[in-house]
A and B are shown apart, each in its own frame.
Chain A
Amino acid sequence: MSESPSTAPPVDATDEPRPAKPSIARQLSARPQIVLIAVLVGLIVVTAIIEPNYLSLAGLRNSAFFAVPIGVLAAGQTILMLTGGIDLSIAMIATASAYVAANQSPNGAVIAIAVGLLVGLAAGTANGIGVGVLRVNPLIMTIAMSGILLGLFTGWATTIFAGSTRMHDFIITLGRGTFFDGNVPWSVVVWIGVSILVLLLLRRTGYGRNLYAVGDNAIAARLSGMRSWQVLVVAYGISGLLGAVAGLLMGGRIGAVDLQLAGFLLLPSVAAAVIGGTSIFGGVGTYTGTILGALILGVVQSMLTFLGAGQAVQQVLYGTIVVGLSWMYMRLAAAQ
């Protein structure tokens, strides 16, 4: 399985033979990503109508700040959804990693980041062992992991981590710093780096093929000699690592950590992947779609902020919009 990475190009909607005179609707449903881009542009226009100043680098930067952590977390969700799994602990992993990184910040940025990432990797790998080796349902495994981490860190927040909640300056720069006259956030650079790695992983490596294979048909994957459990352990480990990256960026953006740091990102992380066309049942999806999903959710967040509504109204609107967008995407996919 692993020796044929680049011979088979990734199955793309555009490869399918199209009828001689395709209608516009059919053409659109064959290329859902064009629709996603259209939605993104449409949302940007609506936001610009609400707040004319939005159409500037500073305005778009605002959306980028929202989109980056969603995009990084959603990379983890995309990888797991390809295998037919999901990580409901990813937001808690992000928070935990940020906590540990803040605690280690006095020891320098390198140690803080390394230890933070290690926490994510460890928690993710534990998830992977639960799902891959012990065959616990991914929902249960990651829900339990979320509870375990919450319990541990609620206790530790007032004991061993008490008073050390400030992030290292370098991580803060990564989280909320900018360059080019303050127009491009560093976190976007981090996201682009993560995106390139994830895209290469999914499209150009044998392991990426394995992810699709496990999720598409686990029995066929096993019969062709694949060790699914190894694929799963690594996949959950990667997801935990990506959770840690997002946690560090979130912690850096806020500057300090608390237990509610990343919790609200759980729905967007799942939704970005689903809106981007990744099937929750495995085997189908691309990270390109997820990136578009994350950008859309980032713009939605900006729009809600500009509307000036209270937190409660924002929550209601956000939930409604996420479900609405997913619904729209499902209809397009069904039309195809």
Chain B
Amino acid sequence: MTAVNTTVEAKSAPTRSWRRWAQRHGWTVGIWMLLVFLVVWYSTLIPRFGGFQFSTIINGGTAWIFLAAAQAVVVIAGGLDLGVGGLLVLTSATAAQFMDGQPLAVAVVMAVVILIGSAILNGIVGWVVAVSKVPDIVVTLGSLYIYQGLALMMLPKVGGGSSDGFRWLFTGSATGIGTNPWPAVVMITVPIAVAAWWMGRTPSGLSLYAVGSDETAAFLSGVNAVRTKIVSYAVAGAFVAIAGFSTLAIAGVGNATTEGGTLTLNSVAAVVLGGVVLTGGAGSLVAVVPAALILFFFNPILSALGVNPNQAQVIQGVLLVFVMAIAGLIELRRRRRS
């Protein structure tokens, strides 16, 4: 760097750093502000907004957040996992089969086993993606089928259940309905914060971004691309397991006939809304969490406005395209200007 350059930089430093900051974090801040705005708006739409409503949103949003986080980890590392919805059904069906009526300690041990199993299973999918060079869309559409089939084998009929203590962990009450949102808030914050720290501050986490933005460059600078891909899918598997536990905790019974495909679509939508670039290498869990909550939050808001769930789904789809088109336009203008 020459002396001339340094002086120029020093002169325009305040504006430039502000612009850089806005460019880097603008989307995250915007999404959080949108979420806050929606919550405030919602509280004026319904007659009473208290602990019950708040915990309903947080509890119901937990599965969406973890599913979106799972998708985000994979997409940041340059992949795509259409199987997450199926894996959610599989993990919640498995949990329903083994946790029914168990004391909390046993349920937690079960949960850890299922979580590790889910991570290994999806890690295998990641291995296939990385080694076979088959497009990730094809491999994970295949894993979606496989997971749904396995879920049906695990739990042929709607049934099973969760343990009371475990339900409290995710919903703040043993019945799944309550006014205490804090257990769910903790269950969301701790894993997400750990993962966000891992991805942003540790070499193994940062290698996800490296592989996602340019696999060859990452390989040449000594990153094990295959291992990184496997790790990204495995971490996604672990997140999906948490989403599965939350789904079971709220429903109280397992249901292996749930359409995993729709859940997957939600996760992709949340990731995109959260500012993660689908081609990989950029994005943050910190923005994906509010994006997933916003998507989940659409339904209560629209139903408060008197819109039925089917119409809500239509509006959601149109909004998604709209947001993407505008984001694309902004990106295009920025590139033209520079």
Interface residue ranges, A against B (CB under 8 Å): 86, 130, 134-137, 139-141, 143-148, 150-152, 154-155, 263, 266-267, 270-271, 274, 280-281, 310-320, 322-323, 326-327, 330-331, 334
In the complex, the answer to whether B314 meets A319 with C-beta atoms within 8 Å is: no
Give the shortest distance, in Å, between B277 (CB) and chain A (any CB).
Answer: 9
In the complex, the answer to whether A154 meets B321 with C-beta atoms within 8 Å is: no
Known: A155-B311, A316-B146. 18 other contacts (CB 8 A): A134-B325, A134-B328, A135-B325, A135-B332, A136-B325, A139-B137, A140-B268, A140-B269, A140-B320, A146-B265, A147-B316, A147-B317, A151-B313, A281-B135, A313-B149, A316-B149, A330-B133, A331-B132
In the complex, the answer to whether A315 meets B146 with C-beta atoms within 8 Å is: yes
Give the shortest distance, in Å, between B304 (CB) and chain A (any CB).
Answer: 18
In the complex, the answer to whether A141 meets B321 with C-beta atoms within 8 Å is: yes
In the complex, the answer to whether A330 meets B152 with C-beta atoms within 8 Å is: no
Q: Which residue of B lies closest to A150 (CB)?
A: B313
Q: Which residue of A lies closest to B332 (CB)?
A: A135
Return the CB mask of B248-263 against A: 1 if under 8 Å, else 0. 0000000000010110
> 27 A–B contact pairs at CB < 8 A?
A86-B137, A135-B325, A136-B325, A140-B268, A140-B272, A143-B265, A147-B320, A148-B318, A150-B313, A151-B312, A151-B316, A154-B310, A267-B144, A274-B135, A280-B138, A310-B152, A311-B149, A313-B149, A313-B153, A315-B149, A316-B145, A319-B142, A319-B143, A319-B145, A323-B138, A330-B134, A334-B133
Q: In the complex, what distance in Å separates the CA atom of A140 from the CA atom of B132?
A: 25
Known: A136-B324, A137-B278, A327-B128. A315 touches B148 (CB 8 A): yes
- Which residues on A sit within 8 Å (CB–CB) of B265? 143, 146-147
- Which residues on A sit within 8 Å (CB–CB) of B268? 139-140, 143
Known: A154-B313, A263-B261. A318 touches B269 (CB 8 A): no
Known: A143-B265, A334-B133. A312 touches B314 (CB 8 A): no
Q: Which residue of B lies closest to A327 (CB)?
A: B132
In the complex, the answer to whether B146 meets A319 with C-beta atoms within 8 Å is: yes
In the complex, the answer to whether A147 meets B145 with C-beta atoms within 8 Å is: no
Asked if B141 CB lies within 8 Å of chain A CBs, one says yes
Q: Which residue of B lies closest to A136 (CB)?
A: B324
Known: A135-B332, A143-B269, A151-B317. A327 touches B149 (CB 8 A): no
Asked if B80 CB lies within 8 Å of chain A CBs, one says yes
Q: In the complex, what distance in Å separates the CA atom of A312 from the CA atom of B332?
A: 46
Asked if B230 CB lies within 8 Å of chain A CBs, one says no
In the complex, the answer to whether B317 meets A323 with C-beta atoms within 8 Å is: no
Asked if B243 CB lies within 8 Å of chain A CBs, one says no
Give the shortest distance, in Å, between B273 (CB) and chain A (any CB).
Answer: 10
In the complex, the answer to whether A315 meets B145 with C-beta atoms within 8 Å is: yes
Q: Count contacts between A and B, CB distance < 8 Å.
A: 151
Q: Which residue of B lies closest to A321 (CB)?
A: B142
Interfacial residues of chain B within 263-279, with CB under 8 A of chain A in the complex? 265, 268-269, 272, 278
Partner of B132, one of A134, A311, A330: A330
In the complex, the answer to whether B135 meets A280 with C-beta atoms within 8 Å is: yes
Q: In the complex, what distance in Å separates the CA atom of A267 from the CA atom of B332?
A: 33
In the complex, the answer to whether B317 meets A148 with C-beta atoms within 8 Å is: yes
- Which residues on A sit within 8 Å (CB–CB) of B317? 144-148, 151
Asked if B30 CB lies within 8 Å of chain A CBs, one says no
Q: Which residue of A lies closest to B310 (CB)?
A: A155
B interface majority secondary structure: helix
Q: Which residue of A lies closest to B83 (CB)?
A: A319
Return the CB mask of B285-321 against A: 1 if under 8 Å, else 0. 0000000000000000000000010111110111011
Q: Which residue of A lies closest to B146 (CB)?
A: A319
Q: In the complex, what distance in Å separates the CA atom of A327 from the CA atom of B151?
A: 24
Q: In the complex, what distance in Å separates the CA atom of A314 from the CA atom of B146?
A: 9
In the complex, the answer to whether A323 meets B128 with C-beta atoms within 8 Å is: yes
Interface pairs A-B: 10 shortest CB-CB: A151-B313, A315-B149, A319-B145, A155-B310, A312-B152, A148-B317, A316-B149, A134-B325, A319-B146, A151-B314
- Which residues on B sit within 8 Å (CB–CB) of A141? 321, 324
In the complex, the answer to whether B80 meets A139 with C-beta atoms within 8 Å is: yes
Q: Which residue of A lies closest to B152 (CB)?
A: A312
Known: A312-B150, A327-B128. A137 touches B324 (CB 8 A): yes
- Which residues on B sit within 8 Å (CB–CB) of A331? 132
Q: In the complex, what distance in Å separates the CA atom of A139 from the CA atom of B140?
A: 14
Q: In the complex, what distance in Å separates the CA atom of A290 from the CA atom of B280?
A: 29
In the complex, the answer to whether A134 meets B321 with C-beta atoms within 8 Å is: yes
Q: Which of A144, A312, A316 has the most CB of B within 10 A?
A: A144
In the complex, the answer to whether A152 meets B278 with C-beta atoms within 8 Å is: no
- Which residues on A sit within 8 Å (CB–CB) of B80? 139
Known: A139-B268, A150-B262, A267-B141. A314 touches B149 (CB 8 A): yes
- Which residues on B sit within 8 Å (CB–CB) of A323? 128, 132, 134, 138-139, 142-143
Give the shortest distance, in Å, between A298 (CB) and chain B (any CB).
Answer: 16
- Which residues on B sit within 8 Å (CB–CB) of A314? 149
In the complex, the answer to whether A326 meets B132 with C-beta atoms within 8 Å is: yes
In the complex, the answer to whether B149 meets A280 with C-beta atoms within 8 Å is: no
Q: Which residue of B lies closest to A141 (CB)?
A: B321
Give the shortest distance, in Å, between A158 (CB) and chain B (any CB).
Answer: 9
Known: A134-B328, A326-B134. A316 touches B153 (CB 8 A): yes
Q: Which residue of B lies closest to A318 (CB)?
A: B145
- Which residues on B sit within 8 Å (CB–CB) of A148? 313-314, 317-318
- Which residues on B sit within 8 Å (CB–CB) of A326? 132, 134, 138-139, 142
- Which residues on A sit within 8 Å (CB–CB) of B278? 137, 139-140
Give the shortest distance, in Å, between A272 (CB) and chain B (any CB).
Answer: 10
Give the shortest distance, in Å, between B272 (CB) and chain A (any CB).
Answer: 6
